[in-house]
Amino acid sequence: MDGRKPIGGSLWRRADRSADALVLASWAAVLGLALVFLPGSAAFKGDTAKPAAVQMADAPQAADRKVNSPDFYPWVRPVAPGAAQVAAVPWTAPEKKRGGGFLTRLSAPLSDAVFNASNHSNADSSFYGADWQADNIAARNGAFLEVRREESSGLPFTGAEMQSSEKYGYGRYETVMQPARGSGVVSAFFTYTGPWFGDPHDEIDIEFLGSDTTKVHFNYFKNGKVIKPATFDLPFDAADRPHLYAFDWRPDGITWYVDGVPVYATETGDTGVPTHPSKIMFSAWTGKKHMEGWHGPRTFRDGAGAQFNCVSFTPMGHEGPKCSDSYFAGPFKGGAMVSGLR
Catalytic residue among 174, 203, 267, 292: 203
- CA dist 312 and 64 (Å) reads 34
- Does the domain at 9-44+52-91+99-337 match CATH 3.10.20.30? Answer given as no
Is residue 174 annotated as part of the catalytic site, yes or no?
no
State the SS3 of 37-48. CCCCCCECCCCC
Output the pLDDT for position 290. Answer: 95
Nearest to 91 by CA among 273, 276, 330: 273
pTM to 2 decimals?
0.76
Nearest to 176 by CA among 115, 108, 238, 89: 238
Catalytic residue among 207, 267, 292, 319: 207
Intervals of the chain under pLDDT 50 = 1-11, 21-23, 25-84, 339-342
Is residue 207 annotated as part of the catalytic site, yes or no?
yes
- CA dist 119 and 133 (Å) reads 5
* Gyration radius of the chain's alpha carbons: 18
- CA dist 88 and 194 (Å) reads 28
Other C-beta atoms closer than 10 Å to the C-beta of 95 total 6
Work out the end-to-end distance of the chain between its first and last CA atoms, rounded to an integer number of angstroms. Answer: 41
Output the pLDDT for position 97. Answer: 66
Output the pLDDT for position 90. Answer: 58
Instruction: Name residues whose C-beta falls within 8 Å of residue 134's C-beta, 6 or more positions apart in sequence.
Output: 110, 117, 118, 119, 160
One-letter amino acid of 242: P
**How far lies 39's CA from each of 36, 83, 166, 225, 340, in Å?**
10, 36, 11, 21, 36
Burial class of residue 179 (count of CB atoms within 10 Å of its CB; 0-12, 13-18, 19+): buried
- The alpha carbon dihedral of 232, 235, 237, 239 has a sign of negative
**How far lies 88's CA from each of 10, 17, 54, 234, in Å?**
17, 22, 10, 18
Output the pLDDT for position 96. Answer: 60
Domain boundaries, the chain: 9-44+52-91+99-337
